[in-house]
Amino acid sequence: MSCCDINSCYEFFSDDVCDTLISEWGCTVIRLPVTVRSLDNGYIYFPEYYYEEVCEYADALIAHGVYVIINWYNYFDGDPNEYADEAEDFFDRISRSGTS
């Protein structure tokens, strides 16, 4: 399952949704895209907020036995290297957290 980015669909993530995706839809892998930057939102503007959000969502899915793919989703700027330092920091933090 690939969901909309957490910046736009934060209300999507709940235990009820996790249960539905797993028990009714049979999902075993879910992609969590983190939008790097949009017009006035995204990880670049609110890094701590979105880091905590993705950790919370990923941890909830992992607790339900789902494999989680965290996607650094930079579609707005067209330059995949523009936020390379921020991406490296983000994934370094994710890899050291309980979320993996």
Higher pLDDT, 92 or 41: 92
Pick from 1, 19, 11: nearest CA to 64: 19
Answer yes or no: is pLDDT of 93 > 60.
yes
Domain layout of the chain by residue ranges: 10-96
Q: What is the DSSP string of 33-93?
A: EEE---SS-STTT-HHHHHHHHHHHHHHHHHTT-EEEEEEE--SSS-TTTTHHHHHHHHHH
pLDDT for the residue 16: 82
Question: Which amino acid is present at 66?
Answer: V
For 27-50, what is each residue's pLDDT tens digit? Answer: 999 888 888 887 778 888 999 998
User: Torsions phi, psi of 71, nearest 5?
Assistant: -110, 120
Q: What is the pTM of this model?
A: 0.79
Measured distance CA(50)–CA(44) in Å, rounded: 9
